[in-house]
Structures are given as structure tokens and as C-alpha cells.
């Protein structure tokens, strides 16, 4: 059962504004088709298995209005120190300075531009892969209809981005124009993307973004997502990746705050020997609700996947982990492991976990597991016996539990991520 179709008409004015933008006729037609499908589907409900634990009532009730770019404040970020390659999108639009094509010292063989420009210029890879992975899920259709702009990154074969690319996404009050990003990595190329989503102020807002990543043979992509939202924010992200033979994809998701956050990650290991390592951490307090929805499709033999998702919850926060691994017929020699662990720091916090394995091949190694509980009294006693007070002992154990998700990331990036994590947990302990 879907929500009444009248709800979707709340976005009619936003669609009319985006549809009026200068764009190729084929793209305009695709927008209309996606918006029609979104209106027909309506929003998912608890009757939809993929939304069993997540209600969209907060989105239906939210007093959202269209937003102008000038209303957005760009907050300071500690990630600026990591790299000179910084791109900012505010209210769904690229800021005019610095233009993407003026970023200093970008290697030859790198194409970096707004996605709308790449499609307007009919760039072959952009035309080939745009929309090829996103599917027809309601929020994917919403994004396909209303996206305003986004990042297009294409790496020629054997090209390495020597420094991370820092993508900052800032939302203000109301409805932020959806963002759409497309990354195409050629054979044996390599890149690191840090995608940082922030609330520009304390007002309620609804943000939606889609990332499509295509990795050629032996390509390497490290994708770090950091989400910092105010307590009224509604954030929906969808990451889709297609992995070629012997490619490597590492994804780290750090999420803090927000009234409702939904993160969908869908990977297809479409080449022999492809590998993905997926780590995530949710920090939740108040009445926040975070839903991590993961699907890894082992389509061909010899693929490897590792998943480790954790949450630290206090007060009345809730986190959902729904992880599914599919091993297709013939995908022998698959090695897939999945783990979800949740630390509840209050009696009112809640974690829902649903790990799943679907195995249709022989000669595979697959495992999954889930654990939820509070701090270990024996460990607390051990630390108290060595001079730490109760608050210090708890803080040390919580941070040690959370920091494990950083182990799958390159060592050069861990210090700043560990500092971010420490600051977030310190804020909780001080509350």
C-alpha cells in the first residue's frame, strides 16, 4: 500500500522549475517519465519489505518549501585540510567559485565537470552510464525527475588521483534540489572521494542524492561518506556501484544526527575477482532514526565482499540494518562475510537487524551475524580498577567499539576521521 498520490503533488512546483531548465530533449523526456512513475508509486510504506522498520510519516508531515541557493550558509569543515580539491554544492547547485575546471594540478586524463554539462555535451561515458544503475525505486525516480546538478568524474585508464576529491553538500531550510553524481573509472585507475553532507543551519530540510559509480577492470575507488545533520533533517541517499573484473571498492559511511536518514547501497560485482569492503557507523541520539540498507550481488565467480556495520545509540534513537548478499548461480569461489553490531547506551534505544544470505552456487564461503547489547560490566570494572572513573571508562569503551570501522580505510585518512569520531562522541558524553 502506498501513501495517497496527493502527497507527491507537493513537489509539482519543484518539478516544473527543474523541467524548465535548458537541457537536451531526451533528458527532459526522461525527467517526465520518472516523475510520472514517482507519482504513480507514491512513497513506500511499512507493507513494503524494504521499508518494514522505517516510517515516512515525518516526511509526510514536514512543512517543506522550495529553497533558494542564497539561503544556504556554508559551515566550516575540518576535511578541507586533507586536499586542495574541494567542490561545494549548496541547495543542489554547484557554487560558482571555484569552477570545477579550474581546480589546480588535476592530472591529465581526468574529466571533472558538472553532470548537467557532461550530458549537454553528450560525453560518451556520461551518456552510456547515466541512469544505468539507479533503478525504479521511489526515491530513485524522485531524484531522476528533480535532480538539479551534480558531479561528473571520469578517469582515463591508468590514471590516479593523487589526492582525495572533497565533495561538500550543504542543505538549508526546505526542499534541497536533489543531487546526482556519476563516477566512471577506467581500467587500472584509482581515486578517493570524500562526500560530506551537512545541514547549513538548524531548520528542517529534505535532501536526496544518488551516486552512480562504474569501475573498470582493476580500478580502485575509496568512497567515504560523512553525514552530519541537524535534529530536523530528512536525508535519503542512494549509492550504486558496478565493479569490473579485479576492481576494488571500499566504502565507509559515518552518520550522525538527523530526524530520519535512509542510506541505500547496492553493489554488483560484475567481473571475476571483484572485491568490496563496506564499513559503516551510525551515531544516534534523541529520537533520530537511521536506516542502512545494503545489497551486494555476487554475479560472477571469485568475488569477495566484507561488511561491518555498527551503531552507537542513546536516548530514544533507533537504527535499522538490512543487509542482503546474493550469490548468483555459477558464482563459485565467492567469499562473503557480513557483520552487524549495535551498542545501546540507554534502555529506550532500539536496533533492528536483518542480515540475509541468498546462495545459489556451490563452492562458496559465506557468513553473517548480528549482535546487540550494552557495555560489558566486566570491562567497565577492569578500567575502573585501573584508575578511570565511570564516565572515562564508558567513553573509552564506546570509542574503541566505534573506531573499528575505520580499519578498512587507508591509514593516511584515519587520523582526521578518528578526530571527527572523537568529537562527535565527546559531544554526547558532555550532554
Summarize pLDDT for 26-60 with one digit per residue, the tens. Answer: 999 999 999 999 988 888 888 888 888 898 888 87
pLDDT at 4 > cutoff 50 = no
What pLDDT is recorded for position 96?
44
- pLDDT tier at 7, thresholds 50, 70, 90: low
What pLDDT is recorded for position 315?
94
pLDDT at 259 > cutoff 60 = yes
174-186 pLDDT tens trace: 777 789 999 999 9
Structural element, H or E, at residue 131: none
Three-state DSSP class for 8?
Answer: helix
- Dist CA 88 CA 94 (whole Å): 6
- Dist CA 130 CA 352 (whole Å): 34
63-74 pLDDT tens trace: 665 544 445 667
- Dist CA 261 CA 266 (whole Å): 17
**Is the bond preceding 46 in cis, omega lying within 30 degrees of 0?**
no
Q: How far is CA 268 from CA 106, 150, 262, in A?
A: 29, 23, 20
Question: Residues 125-137: what's their mean pLDDT?
Answer: 91
What pLDDT is recorded for position 177?
77
Q: How many residues does the chain have?
A: 431
What pLDDT is recorded for position 118?
93
Q: Which residues pair with 269 in a beta bridge?
A: 243, 298
What pLDDT is recorded for position 284?
94
Phi, psi values for residue 427, rounded to 5°? -60, -40
The answer to whether 198 touches 392, Cβ cutoff 8 Å, is no
Angle at 368 (CA atoms; ends 364, 374), nearest 5 degrees: 165
298-321 pLDDT tens trace: 999 999 999 999 999 999 999 999
Q: In what order do the strands lie in the sheet with 335-344?
A: 93-94, 86-90, 165-171, 190-199, 220-229, 248-257, 275-284, 304-313, 335-344, 365-373
Question: Residues 97-126: what's their mean pLDDT?
Answer: 81
What pLDDT is recorded for position 43?
85
Higher-pLDDT residue of 86, 251: 251
**Which region, left, alpha or beta, applies to residue 387 given φ > 0 means left and ψ of -120 to 50 means alpha?**
left
Q: How far is CA 339 from CA 405, 408, 417, 419, in A?
A: 11, 14, 21, 25
pLDDT at 362 > cutoff 60 = yes
pLDDT at 98 > cutoff 80 = no
Higher-pLDDT residue of 17, 175: 17
- pLDDT tier at 148, thresholds 50, 70, 90: confident
Mean pLDDT value across the chain: 88
Residue 330: count of CB within 10 angstroms of its CB: 11
What pLDDT is recorded for position 426?
84
- Dist CA 42 CA 28 (whole Å): 21
Ranking 144-153, 179-188, 194-203, 224-233 by mean pLDDT, the lowest is 194-203
Amino acid at each position: 500500500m502506498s501513501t495517497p498520490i496527493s502527497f507527491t503533488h507537493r513537489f509539482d512546483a519543484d518539478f516544473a522549475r527543474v523541467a524548465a531548465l535548458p537541457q537536451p530533449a531526451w533528458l527532459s523526456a526522461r525527467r517526465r517519465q520518472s516523475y510520472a512513475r514517482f507519482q504513480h508509486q507514491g512513497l513506500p510504506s511499512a507493507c513494503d519489505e524494504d521499508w518494514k522498520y522505517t516510517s515516512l510519516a515525518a516526511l509526510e508531515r514536514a512543512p517543506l518549501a522550495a529553497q533558494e541557493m542564497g539561503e544556504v550558509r556554508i559551515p566550516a569543515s575540518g576535511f578541507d585540510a586533507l586536499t586542495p580539491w574541494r567542490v561545494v554544492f549548496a541547495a543542489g547547485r554547484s557554487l560558482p567559485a571555484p569552477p570545477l575546471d579550474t581546480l589546480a594540478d588535476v592530472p591529465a586524463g581526468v574529466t571533472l565537470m558538472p553532470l548537467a554539462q557532461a550530458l549537454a555535451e553528450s560525453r560518451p561515458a556520461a551518456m552510456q552510464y547515466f541512469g544505468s544503475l539507479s533503478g525504479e525505486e521511489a526515491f530513485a525516480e524522485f531524484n531522476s525527475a528533480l535532480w538539479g546538478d551534480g558531479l561528473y568524474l571520469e578517469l582515463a585508464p591508468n590514471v590516479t588521483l593523487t589526492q582525495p576529491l572533497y565533495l561538500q553538500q550543504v542543505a538549508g531550510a526546505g526542499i534541497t534540489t536533489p543531487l546526482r553524481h556519476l563516477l566512471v573509472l577506467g581500467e587500472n585507475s584509482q581515486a578517493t572521494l570524500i562526500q560530506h553532507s551537512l545541514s547549513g543551519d538548524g531548520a528542517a530540510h529534505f535532501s536526496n542524492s544518488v551516486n552512480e559509480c562504474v569501475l573498470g577492470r582493476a580500478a580502485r575507488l575509496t568512497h567515504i561518506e560523512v553525514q552530519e545533520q541537524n535534529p530536523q533533517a530528512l536525508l535519503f541517499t542512494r549509492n550504486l556501484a558496478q565493479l569490473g573484473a579485479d576492481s576494488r571498492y571500499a566504502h565507509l559511511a559515518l552518520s550522525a544526527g538527523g530526524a530520519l536518514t535512509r542510506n541505500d547501497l547496492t553493489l554488483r560485482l560484475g567481473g571475476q575477482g571483484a572485491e568490496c569492503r563496506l564499513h559503516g557507523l551510525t551515531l544516534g541520539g534523541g529520537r533520530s532514526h537511521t536506516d542502512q540498507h545494503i545489497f551486494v550481488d555476487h554475479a560472477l565467480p571469485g568475488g569477495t565482499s566484507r561488511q561491518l556495520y555498527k551503531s552507537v545509540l542513546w536516548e530514544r534513537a533507533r537504527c535499522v540494518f538490512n543487509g542482503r548478499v546474493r550469490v548468483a548461480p555459477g558464482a563459485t569461489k565467492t567469499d562473503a562475510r557480513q557483520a552487524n553490531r549495535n551498542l545501546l547506551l540507554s534502555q529506550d534505544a532500539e536496533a533492528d537487524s536483518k542480515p540475509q544470505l541468498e546462495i545459489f552456487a556451490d563452492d562458496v564461503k559465506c557468513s553473517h551475524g548480528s549482535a546487540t547489547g550494552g557495555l560489558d560490566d566486566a570491562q567497565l570494572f577492569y578500567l575502573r580498577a585501573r584508575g578511570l572513573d565511570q564516565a572515562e571508562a564508558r567513553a573509552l569503551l564506546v570509542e574503541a567499539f566505534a573506531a573499528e570501522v575505520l580499519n578498512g580505510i587507508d591509514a593516511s585518512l584515519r587520523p582526521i576521521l578518528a578526530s571527527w569520531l572523537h568529537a562527535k562522541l565527546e559531544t554526547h558524553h558532555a550532554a
